[in-house]
Amino acid sequence: MTHAPKPMKIAFLGGGQLAMMMADAGQSLGDSFSFLDPNADSCAGKSGELLVADYSDPEALSQLAASADIASYEFENVAVDAVLQLQEKLPVYPSVDALKACQDRLEEKQLLQQLGIPLADFAAVNSRIELLAAIEKIGYPAVLKTRRMGYDGKGQMVLKVPEDLERAWHKLGDYPLILEAFVAFENECSMIAARAQSGDTVYYSMSWNIHLQGVLAVSFSPWYSASMQQQAEGLVKSILEHFDYVGVLTLELFNCGGHLVANEIAPRVHNSGHLTIEGSTCSQFENHIRAISGRVLGSPQSKQVSVMLNWLGEIPKHGKLLVMPGIHLHDYGKQARPGRKLGHTTVCAENWDDMRRKLNAFSHLKNPAIQAAIAALA
């Protein structure tokens, strides 16, 4: 693999586990890292210099810019103004245009529509009258979502019958909203790609993703047929080219009987790609660093089959499971809180039969992600 001529200093808005895993990958290339995050116990602090301040603090942003050659961000809800301030001093990837489009579900859906990407019917909702008109057009069931700041199923409600409408309006009516048709999907999946400054692009194998209570619990990869993979690559390619995108981007999709329908774009590395650390030749984290630092990208090829189990609220004690080959526990070192993403385990296996056997060894641990993974492969 070709390396950039000199190690880079890279700044991140956000110091959570995504920034930490990107920094850990980048350190193996010789790069060093700084992070801005309002939380003093941000886990990326172990992997570089942590500046503790609000994202809108102009002095902190100047200090962050002074510490680096290039900048990036680990989540899409970072203020556009902060990115614009950084951009005056150094290159920021992915571009602010991509960030803006992904912050507003309405703009995002309009873009997907413009690019000819299949998606559920949708309508903007800014008043009760517009909600009634939207439900008339879209019908039940539908999903009412806040246009901004929604993630992991937050800020959304499913409307199944007319009685749900009043309840949803009461809860969400203060925000600009979007109503989407409910997609009766077979399962959820994602496609992660990395695009270099040269425009060269690599695509990871698609993951099949199981969500529990709106949050990703398990990913399986590589899962889908060559034709599904090709379909998803085509959709992601058009988004990457539209933005002349640099970095890693994820498209979350619904699989409707072999036909893919887009859910949303994440302009960043993704939870469903954590398994690429051990499962692929070059991980999504390393490829994001490679892309934004002007390097050649690494191969996304899957080395074997992988399952990622997400640990929310507590990390089950692995004990002797850790001695089994192909078991990789990542503890982010975060303080436990109910529902908080504390770590994940990637299980790698020769094939899906071998994977079933390995996952069964986890079955005594009463954890919803493990139970969901075992049930899904049964």
User: What is the contact surface with ligand AMP in residues (CB under 6 A)?
Assistant: 120, 143, 150-151, 153, 180, 182-183, 188, 211, 214, 252, 263-264
Q: Whole-angstrom distance between the N-terminal and C-terminal Cα of the chain?
A: 40
Peptide bond into 222 cis (omega under 30): yes
Q: Give me the least distance between CB of 233 and ligand AMP, in Å please.
A: 21
DSSP structure string for 245-286: --EEEEEEEEEETTEEEEEEEESS--GGGTTHHHHBSS-HHH
Q: Which is nearer to ligand AMP, 84 or 158 (CB)?
A: 158
Nearest to ligand AMP of 263, 345 (CB atom)? 263
Nearest residue (CB) to ligand AMP, 66 versus 149: 149
Using the structure block, give the residue that is written with the tokens 């110091």: 15
Give min distance, CB of 229 to ligand AMP, in A: 20
Report the nearest approach of ligand AMP to the CB of residue 121 (Å). 9
Cβ-proximal residue to ligand AMP, closest one:
183
Q: 105 or 358: whose CB is closer to ligand AMP? A: 105
Q: With CA atoms as reference, report the closest residue to 214 among 281, 306, 288, 312.
A: 312
For residue 254, the minimal CB distance to ligand AMP (Å) is 7
Q: 79 vs 256, which CB is nearer to ligand AMP?
A: 256
Q: Report CA-CA distances (Å) from 305 to 221, 249, 310, 353.
A: 6, 22, 17, 10
Q: Identify which of residues 76 and 286 has a Cβ nearer to ligand AMP in the complex.
A: 76
Indicate left, alpha or beta for 214 from its phi (over 0: left) and psi (-120 to 50: alpha): left
Give the E-state strand segments of 30-151 in sequence order.
32-37, 49-52, 70-73, 122-125, 142-146
Nearest residue (CB) to ligand AMP, 143 versus 342 = 143
Q: What is the dihedral of CA 139, 212, 346, 184, to 10 degrees?
A: -20
Q: Cβ 126 to ligand AMP, closest distance in Å?
A: 19
CB of 250 to ligand AMP, least distance (A): 11
Listed in sequence order, the residues at least 6 apart from 345 whose beta carbon sits closer than 8 Å to its beta carbon are 308, 309, 311, 318, 327, 328, 329, 330
Residues making up the chain, counted from first to last: 378
Cα 25 to its chain centre, rounded Å, is: 17
DSSP character for 289? H
CB of 62 to ligand AMP, least distance (A): 34
Q: Which is nearer to ligand AMP, 74 or 188 (CB)?
A: 188
Q: How far is the CB of 158 from ligand AMP (least distance, A)?
A: 8
Q: What six digits make up the tokens of 65?
A: 């810019």
